[in-house]
Amino acid sequence: MLRVENLYKSFDKFLAVNGAELAVEKGQLVAVIGPNGAGKTTLFNLITGMLKPDRGRVVFNGEDITKLPPHEICRRGIARSFQIANIFPRLTVFKNVQVSVLSQQRKSTRLFRPARTLAREETRGILESVGLWAKADTLAGALAHGDQRTLEIAIALGNNPQLLVLDEPTAGMSAEETGTTMALVRRLAEEQGLTILFCEHDMEIVFNVAQSIMVMHQGTTILQARPETVHNSRQVQECYLGGA
């Protein structure tokens, strides 16, 4: 479904992504792991068009999407969440998701019908499935951190994506919130058949949830394989797991 081929990106002279390779099959839960600064977020930004690569290709459903702007990539079916809560703080939780649903339905440029009559059921469905419906009328900026991160995912779901890209969905969460969020991610994959690409620091989570793991180090892909294989790989242990 998604193929990343030999991707390069440098900032000034720092090579953030240095020949990354990645393959995501339909219906898979794929994790990208690597130490801090390995280039995981940059890789995600390249896939979703927030950054343009210096070299290499990103292919989605057979189409080269490397040079497309973010909103076009989103319309092809890739939605993402961000590492830091990236929401609309002055809008209510409901509107946060509604904006994204309306965009998906190509209704964002409608001028004279009140927005409150549109996309209500879809928005409600998403908020219920992530457990935020009770807070629908709260201003997003007033939510607790964990809820804001969940809202992140809900906004991405509003695009009804084929591929969901989650950049550290549990960053800064308590152990309990982390558990809830990962259960949610898993449930989305199972119930809605979503393909999910995520990166995560907590190894326990990764090895529990992911069906395929890509290991990055200094911008380069070390390997991508099934969790057992990654776990036993000496190469990975040396560079990442600290040779424990």
Residues in contact with other proteins by CB under 8 A are 48, 50, 69-71, 74-75, 79-80, 82, 85-92, 94-96, 98-100, 102-104, 107-116, 118, 136-137, 139-142, 148, 155-156, 158-159
| 203: three-class secondary structure by DSSP | helix
Pairing relationship of beta strands 14-24 and 2-11 according to DSSP bridges: antiparallel
C-beta of 240: minimal distance to other proteins in Å?
Answer: 29
Cα distance between residue 74 and residue 147, in whole Å: 23
| 4: three-class secondary structure by DSSP | strand
Between 36 and 117, CB nearer to other proteins: 117
C-beta of 239: minimal distance to other proteins in Å?
Answer: 31
**Count of beta carbons in the 10 Å neighbourhood of residue 66:** 20
Crossing angle, helix 120-130 and helix 145-157, to 10 degrees?
A: 130
Question: Taking a C-beta distance cutoff of 8 angstroms, is the pair 9, 44 a contact?
Answer: no
Between 76 and 186, CB nearer to other proteins: 76
Between 155 and 189, CB nearer to other proteins: 155
C-beta of 167: minimal distance to other proteins in Å?
Answer: 11
C-beta of 110: minimal distance to other proteins in Å?
Answer: 5
Between 22 and 156, CB nearer to other proteins: 156
Residue bearing tokens 């290499």: 56
